Amino acid sequence: MTVAPKMPGDERRNLIRQWLMESSHPIKGSDLAGKTNVSRQVIVGDISLLKAMNEPIIATSQGYMYLKAEEKQAPHTHLIVSNHSPEDTMDELFTIVDHGVTVKNVIVEHPIYGDLTASLLLSTRKEVEEFLQKLETTNAALLSTLTEGIHLHTLEARSKDQIENACRELQQKGYLLS
């Protein structure tokens, strides 16, 4: 079996940028590593270098995405403050995506580091299930465990009504802080 030679860094980063720009879905770091014959850690470094060059790449729970111009600003966004137990996470996220709303991120306020933000980009029940499965299999903790359940989400939707309906239901379930 012949092993392909490692690709030079600049060439690899250009290819990664191109693949991300052309993809309509997130691409896992391990997939990029396999395509370029380097370790996933090298890909993490490449992504960091691309971000430092102002490439609009974000890391989500599903992989890396290149933000196209139309994705940089959603038609309607709203920041909510939630408070619930980890056991209610699935219900909170399902409630949001069931209204056609995307959960763009989660934000917590850390006493030392300040605001910690993680990209989520969850739009469907399937994406929520995959996110929660990944949490379970990696033994990772929700960021909200750092703040006794208090966290923020940036919500995005095509219409303001979708966000308002999701927020109304979240309020009825007792998940929103007023």
* Binding site residue list for Ni(2+): 84, 92, 151, 153
Taking the C-alpha atoms of residue 97 and residue 40, their distance in angstroms, rounded to an integer, is 31
Asked if residue 120 lies in contact with residue 89, where contact means CB atoms within 8 angstroms, the answer is no
Residues at the binding site are 84, 92, 151, 153
Taking the C-alpha atoms of residue 61 and residue 121, their distance in angstroms, rounded to an integer, is 8
Q: Which of 128, 88, 80 is nearest to 106 (CA)?
A: 80
- 113 phi, psi to nearest 5 deg: -90, -5
Asked if residue 119 lies in contact with residue 59, where contact means CB atoms within 8 angstroms, the answer is yes
Asked if residue 160 lies in contact with residue 99, where contact means CB atoms within 8 angstroms, the answer is no
Cα 149 versus chain centre, distance? 19
Taking the C-alpha atoms of residue 82 and residue 171, their distance in angstroms, rounded to an integer, is 9
Taking the C-alpha atoms of residue 54 and residue 78, their distance in angstroms, rounded to an integer, is 25
